[in-house]
Amino acid sequence: MEALLAVAIGILYAASLYLMLRRSVVKLILGLSLFGHASNLLILTSGKLLKGRPPLIGDDAHALFGEPAVDYADPIPPALILTAIVIGFAILAFSAVLVKRTVQEVGTDDMDQMNNTDLEAAS
Amino acid sequence: MNALLMAPVLIPIFTAMLCIALWKWRYAQRCVSIVGAFALLGASASLLISIDTMPELNGVFATQLGGWEAPFGITFVADRFAAIMVTLAGLVGACTVVYSVGAIDKKRESAGYHALVQALLASVCGAFLTGDIFNMYVWFEIMLMSSFVLLTLGGERGQLEGALKYVALNLLSSSIFLAGIGLLYGLTGTLNMADLSVKLAALNETDTKVVSALSLLFMVGFGIKAATFPFFFWLPASYHTPPSVISALFGGLLTKVGVYALVRTFTLLFVGNYAFTHTLFLWIAGFTMLAGVLGAIAQKDVRRILSFTIVSHIGNMIMGLGIFGVAMHRASITTGVESEVLRGAGLFALAGTVFYALHHIVVKTNVFFITGIIEKMRGTTQLAKLGGLYHQRPFLSSLFFISAMSLAGIPVLSGFWSKLTLVRAGLQAETYAIVGVSLGVSVLTMYILTRIWAQAFWAPIPEDDPEQGGVARDNENREPNPRGFAWMMSPVVVLTGLTLALGLGASHTFALTMRAAEQLAGNESYISTVLGAPEPDPRRLVEFHDPIESELHAQIDDHLESGGH
Amino acid sequence: MNSLILQTTTRMLMPLMLLFSVVVLMRGHSDPGGGFVGGLIVAAAFALYGMANGPEALKKLLPINLQSFIGCGLLLAFCAGLPSLVMGGGFMESQWGSVMIPGLGDEPLHVGTPVFFDIGVYFVVIGVVTLFFQSLAER
């Protein structure tokens, strides 16, 4: 399962980098959002992947780790991912509006056509 | 004390919420914002004073949010470094809010400007004070969100294009940071930074190598935020586009949050492989300084020049961190006096970084403020179209002169002492190459700032030529309204006074940064305060006395005495 | 949209949705539910009203400034964290008390700071989502 997820994460990262390297602004934003998803999946994988375990430990266990060994699903990675997804969604919404405004203002979504704000000739 | 530690975060959050509640009443928002910013300044200053002076605190104080004990809950910690940074955030916040009364237009103000500034201040303070790595990510995101909106507020074409670069690179850096957190959690099973520090130190050799690789993710993530060498392009592309007051807030505070995060993580968490990570920092620092200063030389607009110099100054701060690590590494493989001297050099370098950040926040905010006033007066910041400012406004010009010289590192001003500390540390640690680069860059910075001075302030007002359509002439007599001007001038006067005070009282400033550096270098008090563990071996807490340090103290005092009369 | 069926249904559904949202809000501490979900239900009710009777009618129904409403909700949620701080605990540490309300039986009513936090969230979500809907409907 870990191997499968690792490959999936790799594909997601690769796809997002490819999208980011395109000249279109819309693809750039899509790439960034994919990059975030890949990171979320990475967090999920880096916690233990267990099937059908509760996130709580029984009364007989004295500690989360150590003796007696407890097999439980770690609830922290999903909690982190939930937070990251919510934040990522908000930022994605903002970037969508930003792209829309930029395309309206500039008239193209091609990065090469845009004025280069770091050059002196611009503005 | 719990309340005092939380106040720097809670006050701006409360102010931001109040500003949203008063959405329709622009003047009420403005008043609330000013009161809130000064309350923040007061709270953060008293936090710094109590952290620094109360002996029973040992320089660190921690509180657990919601009463959940560390390492399970979210911890807020203030050590001296964090308290210094929070105080500066309060100072910049108060100055910005006062300045914006005269500088910000009606449209932006009624679109939630004050709420955004307060949210930004809250998130910056939160990032400084949090003791939990994931919570730091959350504060970073809040900071990004409010800075995105501040940057695009007004929706001019240049702003949107600049913001696109800013948004893209900062989003990327957040995702990289998040991936780093995930892997770190997978390795250690904790997110509390003090606990992470303990757990990372106890890892076996293979895992330590993994951690070295992992630390690169943090280096890149925070490096993008701090605008270090290969990732700095977004900063000069975007910082000059919004109104000057927003540039001042960003240039003064935001990049420093990246530097703070780098210093925090690379003195507390990733200290297992100094030779690799911190040598890398030296390379990054050198290239950052060079890239920033060379970029600045090529520019012909005051705000663009200043944006590029931010990059080169960030390089100086990173250099301190690099020298610290390299000195610590060499100290660990040598013995006796040599090892002690190197350890002293490491402390010195960290103190230099803290001093530099302190100085740079004050001065950079100030020069952006002054540029904003110039822009209000002349309608442009192009060097070729400016001129004659000294005749028109001698007082403002002398304030700019002081700040610019401080930025360049002229003796007696704050910039000189911070650079001196760094150079001194570099020489002791025998990292000559980086010291050479730093000195060369200082000369070039000096050149850039004197060029601004000569062209914008001393040169005569440029003659009309058809290309400019007589803009310069028309603008000569454009005076901002006197009340707005007074609002804009007062923070400039205060910040310039502070630059002078930091420089003239360098022995006190230096002593404070040295105490902060001692805490950063030896993490025992931080960890034991957060985790509530018994005090570790007292021998390791004994203050470090090194002959060269006291010598520099003496030299600074001598210099002040001879310079003062 | 001018549909008699939708308008009539909305007139019947809306009070039920508002009532149900309060139930969801109040049971939220120990059962599924809470301020977020409750707020969404209210916002859905407003959206339904807006769709049936037009955005103008919705504006007339809500004569308040939604931004200020969001701000008040935020302030309420924020203030729920303060009592424990004043008492020397950590920020957002829950404080519980119980009050006897005559006519509600012998069981005391447990009231704590999380309730006020949830109500604050409820207001914020109502405000934000309704604001989304309004600005989209006006396009």
Residue B385, φ and ψ in degrees, nearest 5: -95, -10
What is the pLDDT confidence band of residue B535, given thresholds at 50, 70 and 90?
Answer: very low
For the stretch A71-76, contacts whose Cβ atoms lie closer than 8 Å and that sit 24 or more positions apart, written own/partner, are: A73/A48, A74/A47, A74/A48, A74/B189, A76/A47, A76/B185, A76/B191
pLDDT for B538 beyond 50: no
pLDDT tens string B180-201: 999 999 888 889 999 999 989 8
Contacting partners of chain A (3+ CB pairs under 8 A): B
* Mutation choice for B interface testing from A26, A40, A118, A120 by most B CBs within 10 A: A118
pLDDT tens string C93-135: 888 888 887 777 777 878 888 889 999 999 999 999 999 898 8
Nearest to B18 among C75, C90, C94 (CB): C75
Chain B residues whose CB is inside 8 A of the A117 CB are 158, 161-162, 165, 237-238, 240-241
Residue of A nearest to B159 (CA): A117
Residue of B nearest to C113 (CA): B66
Residue of C nearest to B63 (CA): C90
Nearest to B145 among A42, A94, A106 (CB): A94
Helix axes A25-46, A2-21, angle to 10 degrees: 160
Cβ-contact B556, B412 below 8 angstroms: no
DSSP string for B521-557: HS-HHHHHHHH-PPP--GGGGSPP--HHHHHHHHHHH
Cβ-contact B337, B407 below 8 angstroms: no
Which domains does chain A show, CATH number per domain? 2-51+69-113 (1.10.287.3510)
Instruction: Give the per-residue pLDDT at B539.
Output: 39
Give how many domains chain B has, as a whole number: 1
Return the minimum-mean-pLDDT range out of A47-51, B41-45, B90-94, B264-268.
A47-51
Per-residue pLDDT, averaged over A118-123, amounts to 50
Query: What are the tokens at B457?
Result: 């302030």
Residue of C nearest to B110 (CA): C67
Chain A residues whose CB is inside 8 A of the B300 CB are 120
Query: What are the tokens at B254?
Result: 């935001």
Report the gap between the CA of C10 and the closest CA in chain B (Å): 30
Compute how many other C-beta atoms are within 10 angstroms of the C-beta atom of residue B107.
11
Dihedral class, residue A53 (left if φ above 0, else alpha if ψ from -120 to 50, else beta): beta
Displacement of CA B366 from its chain's centroid (Å): 13
Query: Which among A93, A19, A41, A75 has a CA at the least distance from the CA of B178?
Result: A41
Note whether B21 contacts C: Cβ–Cβ < 8 A: yes
Place of tokens 């009231």: C111
Note whether C85 contacts B: Cβ–Cβ < 8 A: yes
Instruction: Give the per-residue pLDDT at A123.
Output: 40
Q: B residues 34-73 near C, CB within 8 Å?
A: 63-68, 73
pLDDT tens string B394-436: 899 999 999 999 998 888 889 999 999 999 999 999 889 999 9
- How far is Cα A20 from Cα A35, in angstroms, rounded to an integer? 9
- Residue B384's Cβ-count burial label (10 Å; 0-12, 13-18, 19+) is middle
Report the gap between the CA of B182 and the closest CA in chain A (Å): 4
Chain B residues whose CB is inside 8 A of the A75 CB are none
Instruction: Give the per-residue pLDDT at A67.
Output: 52
Place of tokens 């002293």: B344
Chain A residues whose CB is inside 8 A of the B236 CB are 118
What is the pLDDT confidence band of residue B533, given thresholds at 50, 70 and 90?
Answer: low
What is the pLDDT confidence band of residue B479, given thresholds at 50, 70 and 90?
Answer: low
Span between the terminal Cα atoms of chain C, in Å: 15
Give me the amino acid identity at A39.
S
Query: Which among C110, C133, C111 has a CA at the least distance from the CA of C40?
Result: C133
Q: How many CB pairs under 8 A join B and C?
A: 61
Residue of B nearest to C95 (CA): B66
- Identify the H or E element spanning A12: helix A2-21
**DSSP conformation class of A75:** S
Q: Bigger pLDDT: B477 or C53? A: C53
Q: Bigger pLDDT: B545 or C90? A: C90
Residues 6+ apart with CB under 8 A from B62: B5, B70, B75, B76, B77, B78, B131, B529, B530
- Identify the H or E element spanning B78: strand B75-78
CB contact under 8 A, C90 and B22: no
Report the gap between the CA of B72 and the closest CA in chain C (Å): 14
Residue of B nearest to C75 (CA): B17
- How far is Cα B532 from Cα B340, in angstroms, rounded to an integer? 30
Q: B residues 222-241 near A, CB within 8 Å?
A: 233, 236-238, 240-241
pLDDT for B44 beyond 80: yes
Q: ∠ CA C125-C131-C135 to the nearest 5 degrees?
A: 155
pLDDT tens string A55-85: 776 666 655 555 555 567 778 888 999 999 9
Nearest to C85 among B2, B17, B24 (CB): B2
Report the gap between the CA of C15 and the closest CA in chain B (Å): 27
pLDDT for B466 beyond 50: no
Cβ-contact B171, B225 below 8 angstroms: no
Place of tokens 């001296």: B80
pLDDT for B558 beyond 70: no
What is the pLDDT confidence band of residue B541, given thresholds at 50, 70 and 90?
Answer: very low
pLDDT tens string B220-268: 999 999 999 888 888 988 888 889 999 999 998 998 999 999 999 999 9
The sign of the torsion formed by the CA atoms of B490, B419, B455, B376 equals negative
Residue of A nearest to B217 (CA): A39
Instruction: Give the per-residue pLDDT at B559.
Output: 64
Note whether B23 contacts C: Cβ–Cβ < 8 A: yes
Cβ-contact A17, A37 below 8 angstroms: no
- How far is Cα B131 from Cα B137, in angstroms, rounded to an integer? 11
SS3 at position C139? coil
Note whether B171 contacts A: Cβ–Cβ < 8 A: yes
The parent domain of residue B327 ranges over 2-564
- The mean pLDDT of chain B is 87
What is the pLDDT confidence band of residue B544, given thresholds at 50, 70 and 90?
Answer: very low
Place of tokens 């939220």: C28
Nearest to B65 among C71, C75, C91 (CB): C91
β-pair partners for C96: C112
CB contact under 8 A, B134 and A80: yes
| Alpha-carbon distance values, B440 to B286, B363, B370, B405, C23 (Å) | 11, 21, 27, 16, 70
- Identify the H or E element spanning B61: strand B61-64
SS3 at position A24? strand
- How far is Cα C95 from Cα B367, in angstroms, rounded to an integer? 48
Compute how many other C-beta atoms are within 10 angstroms of the C-beta atom of residue B198.
17
Per-residue pLDDT, averaged over B40-64, amounts to 90
Contacting partners of chain B (3+ CB pairs under 8 A): A, C
Per-residue pLDDT, averaged over B350-364, amounts to 94
**DSSP conformation class of B301:** B
Chain B residues whose CB is inside 8 A of the A83 CB are 134, 138
* Mutation choice for C interface testing from B10, B13, B20 by most C CBs within 10 A: B20
Chain B residues whose CB is inside 8 A of the C76 CB are none
pLDDT tens string C34-85: 889 999 999 999 999 999 988 888 889 888 889 999 999 999 999 998 888 8
